[in-house]
Amino acid sequence: MKISFFVLCVLFYVFGFSQENNIIKSRSLINFETHLVPKSFDFIVQHRFGKIEKEDIIRDFFGTDLAGNISFGFTKPLKNNDCIDVFRYKKNKVISLGYKKEIIKESSSFPVSVSFYASCGVKTGPDPLFAENTFFEDLQSPFEYKFTHRLDYSYQLILSKVLSEKIYIQMNPGIIYKNLIELDKESRHYLFCPVSLYYKYSFSSAVIFEYGFFEKNHLSDYYENSSFPLSVGFEWGTAGHVFQAFVSNNQNMRTQELFADFYEQQRSGFSFGFNIKRSWWF
C-alpha cells in the first residue's frame, strides 16, 4: 500500500497541469466515491448477482440463480459544494447516512481535486445471538448487546486528477471503524486506499477500474489469504442517466463491508453487477 501511495502521488504531480475535472458523471466508480458532488437530486440502484466460480457461469447463469445483494438510495445536494445521501442495503439490512464535501477544486495552482466523504451504517436486522459465556474485551464483564454495536463508520479523502480529456485517476485513503468485532478475527480499525481509473473512449462511454488496497499487517492471520477488492467494467451515460455494468471479486457495496467483512474475504469467485443512476434538476 505504501508503494501505491507513492506512485499515485508522483503521477498527480508529474501531470500537474490544469484540466477540467468534469468528465466523471457519477458519485461513485463502481463501489468507491468520486470527488464529484452532484448538483442534481439522484436516485441510485446498485445490484450484485451471486458469487460464482468460472466453471459455474453457465450452470448458475452468470450468478442470477444465486442470492444477490442490492441497495437503493438518494443523494441530495446542499448549498456549499456538499451533499448528503441515504442508502438502504439488503445485506445486514443496513441504512447508511453519508456526507460529502468538496474541499479543493483542481486548478492551475493546485494539481488535484480534494473531497471528503464520511458515512455511518446502522444494522437494522434482528439482534444477533451470542453464547451465554460471551464477554467484553476485558474478559470479565458479561457482554450486553446495545444499539451502538449496530454502528460502523468510514472516513476518506478523495484525491483525483484529470490527466487528459479521456483519463481520470483517483485514490481514496481512509479509515473504517467498527463498534462490534470478533476479537480473534477482526480489528476495530481498518486503513484502506482504493485506486481507480476512468478511461472515456467515446462521448458518453467509459471503461472503469477499481482496486482496493487495505492494510492487513496488523490484522489476524485469518486475513492472510484474503484478496483486495477488484472491479472492472463499462459505463454509459445520457443527460439524466448513468448505467454501469462490471465484474468484481467482492459482492459487497459498502466501504465498511468491502474491506472489513471477514467472511466475504474468504469466499473465492466473482460476481457480475450493475449500478443505475437517475438524476433530476429541480
Q: Which residues pair with 67 in a beta bridge?
A: none
> How high is the pLDDT of residue 13?
46
**Pair 59, 86: CB distance under 8 Å:** no
The amino acid at residue 150 is R
Per run of 10 residues, the mean pLDDT along the chain (length 282 residues) is 51 49 83 93 95 83 87 94 96 95 90 95 89 77 88 96 93 93 77 95 94 73 71 93 94 88 74 95 84
Report d(CA 66, CA 72) in Å as an integer: 20
Question: What is the Cα Rg of the chain in Å?
Answer: 19
Q: What is the DSSP string of 134-167?
A: -B-TTSSSBP---GGGGEEEEEEEEEEEE-SSSE
CA distance 71 to 23: 25
* Separation between Cα atoms, residue 282 and residue 274, nearest integer Å: 26
Which residue type sits at 193?
C
The reported pLDDT for the residue numbered 5 is 52
Cell numbers given for 143 = 457482554
This prediction has a pTM of 0.87
Domain annotation for the chain: domains and CATH numbers: 2-126+142-280 (2.40.160.40)
Distance of alpha carbon 184 from alpha carbon 143, whole angstroms: 16
* Residue 230 pLDDT: 93
Q: Which amino acid is at 223?
A: Y
Tell me what pLDDT residue 3 has.
Answer: 47
